[in-house]
Every structure is written in structure tokens, then in C-alpha cells.
Chain A
Amino acid sequence: MYLTEPLLTDVVKKQFLHKLKAYTGVFNSLLVMQLIGIILGFGTSSGGSSSGGTLTVNYSFLTGDVPVIFTLLWAFSMGILVTTLAYRNDAFSFVSNRLSHNISSFLFLLFASVIAGTLATLAGSIIKLISSFQSDPLFAETSGLFSSPADFFIMTSTSVLYTALFASMGYVVGSFIQRSKFVLPLLIAAIFVIPLLQLNMRGQDLIANSVAFFGTETSLLLFLLKIIVTISILFAISIGVTTKTEVRK
């Protein structure tokens, strides 16, 4: 019993603002990852050459896949990172508990996902722009900001949602790792073993089904709902896993 009982929302707000200032390394790594993604985006173009009679055709294909993939990898690793001891100790500079720490961390991850997802969508523009200044003609099959603003914002939203999903997955994995150090080797083993086992449930591949659950959705609203529900479940699991952890453990 205290004279002044701090409100959870106030604590979360303070912690969130603190994390924005303290976790700048997260954004440094985002920059590095996206820059690597952009550079590799040029290097991983496919293409070829065909020749017959008096006609020779040289063609190459570029995509914005690599910056997006690297952003998702970043999101997953950042999810894990914010659960590490050094980051957790930062959070307890304030009067706080495990719940407020989890909520503020999740809010921070969502905020970072919005920035990362938006930048991932824009990152393809650099690849497009530099390619368009090369001597070969460039044909872009894209949804531009001005030519098709609705599609552009849908792409940005999709990117943000996927980034948030990967960050949440990283966060729950990180929570398990913090709970027990045995989780990490098990997790690494699982990443390599599960695809080999081709786990089946009622004759259907579990991993393929999980990917299809999000990847084959055609309605953005339903997709949004699926992401919100999944993130909420992951968040609840994280809280459940870390609730019994000591405050500064």
C-alpha cells in the first residue's frame, strides 16, 4: 500500500517514451539491414540472354523483395533483442512491474514496426530510381504513390503488419529464451528439424498451413484481424512466460 499508487497507463507511457530514447540501437540496425537489403537487391537480379537468328535479347529482373525480407529478419531479431537482460534493466529505471514492461516493449515494437514497414515499402524506390538511370530501359510494374495511391498505402499497411507479426514472434521467442537458456538450442534445432519432419495434422503440412493462413488471405481487413489476433495471442504468451521471472532477472 502506497500513498500514491501509480497508474499503469502512466508507467507504460513513461517507459515507452524512455524506450524511444534508450533503444536507438534498434533503429541503427534497421538502417544497416535495409541498406544491405538495398545493395543486395541490385546484386540478386535474375535474367539472361537469348539469341536466335538476327535477334539478341538481354534481360534482367529486379524486385523489392530483399529489403522487405531483411526488414522482417530485423523485426524478428529486434523482438528477441528487447527481451534481453540489458534492455530489461533499462526499463526498471522507473517504478514498474513485469506487465508495464511487457506492454511498453510491445508498444515500442509496434512503433518500430510502423517505421520499419513504411521504410521497407519505400526502399524499393531506391532500386527503381538507380536502375532507371542506367542505359537500359526499365519497366516498372509497381503501384506508385501518385499513380496508384490506394495500392501504395495498401502495400505500406501490408508491410507494417508483417513487420509487426515478425517482431511479435521474435518477442515471444525472446521471452522463452529469457525464461530458460535451454530454449535457444531447442529453438535452433526446431528451426532445422521441423521442416524435415514435415509435421502433419489431418494430412496437412503444419508449416505450409501456417504460411498459407496469412499468405493466401485476399481481404486486407481479414488479414488485419488475423494479425491482431495472432499478435494478441503472442503477447499473452509472452506475459504468461515472463510473469514469474524476477524483476531484474
Chain B
Amino acid sequence: MFNGVRGIYLRETLILRKKLVKTVLASAVSPALFLIAFGYGVGQGAQVNGHDYLLFLLPGLLTMSSMNQSYGIATEINISRFYFKVFEEYLLAPLKRWEIVVAEMFYGVTKGLIPVVIIGIYTLLCGVQLTFGVRFLVALLLHLAIFSLLGLITALLVRNHSDQALMNSFLITPMMFLSGTFFPVEKMPVVIRAVAALSPLTYSTRLIRSTLIGDMAVNNALFPLLAVMVVVLFIVAYRVVNRVQI
């Protein structure tokens, strides 16, 4: 039982361990640049809803960077499927297809935790006070599960590497900029708000930010909303994996 989950998760994490330095550096550089450009450049001295902009920005960077890492499993699955053909090993093994979904989701969640640690360090360096509590942890895990599953689904739906890159451009980049990472969505024009409403990152950013900033009201309704997204995406991922042939 769960041999598939164990085997696939072990494989993914062993490879992650071999590439840990690269992964940590990749997770560290981009948020650091955003922090410098937006936090200390454009946003210096600015306030958002009564909070210092840096306090507003850091949780956004945390959700954005962790989303990038979790969703980033898409590229890895894509390469292992089309280039190294390692994915065939999973299809040949006597395992239930849902085990592939669970294992890849766990891996995506694991990978998404790396930038969380890095942003945590940045937070200390910036002298910003964030509250890393249980509600934050639950919100974070739901957020990472959503984007891991989204990564798995897109990786299995596309037919080649360039389609994968296209998906990243059309899905992930707009989400990064329109989901409340750098500015409050509520203050944007109605068209942008409508687009943001379609992005799961909007809801997870809102929830994670509110759990991290001590005096911000947490909208508890977002917990079940994210949980429903996880369930729906899990079902979709299972159906996609079930249909996969080489």
C-alpha cells in the first residue's frame, strides 16, 4: 500500500536534494530583487491599508515564490516525461494512478516550503514582524497543494516543452502580477479585479497575508474555499493522470 506514493516522493526528493543549492539560490534571488525594487525602491515609505508597504509586500512575495516552486514541478514532470522518459516507470509500475497525484502533490508542497524559509529569513533581515502561526501553516499547505496540482495537470496536458513554457507565460506570470502580490487588488480597475477573481493566487495571497500580519482580520471563509479548490484540482489531476498514455 502506498508504494507508489513512497517511491515517487523518494525519487523527487532525492533529486531535489542533489539540486538543493541551485533550487535555494533560484528561490532566493528573484524575491530579493522584487524586495529591493518594490520594497526599498518604489514602495519606500508607502502605506497600504494602514500598513507599511514592506509588511504588505513580504507575505505577497512569500506566496508568489512558493507558488513558483510548487507549480515549477510542472517543468520537471514535463522533462521527465518527454525528455528522460522516467514518467514511463510510474505508468509501468503496479500502482494506482491516484498515488502519482498524491506523491507529486506532496513533492510540490515540499518544494514550495523552500522559499517560505528564505522569505522568513528576509523578514528577519528587514526587521519586519510577521506571525507564523497554525492558521498560516494551514493556509500555506492549501496554497502549495493548489499550485502543485495545477503544475501536475498542466504538465500532463501539454504535448511538449514549448507548450509548457507557453502555459507558464499565460498562466503563472499574469497570476504573479495581478493577484495582490505587489498591490492590493481592491484598488485596481474593475477589469483587473475581474481577472484577479479568477486566480487562485488572489485568494491564497489574501488569506496568507492576513494570517501573517497580526492585526489584519482573517477571512475564515477562505479556508474552505481553498480546500474546495484542492479537492476539485485533485479530481481533475486524477482524471488527467488516469488518461495518460506515453
Q: Answer whether A and B are interacting partners.
A: no
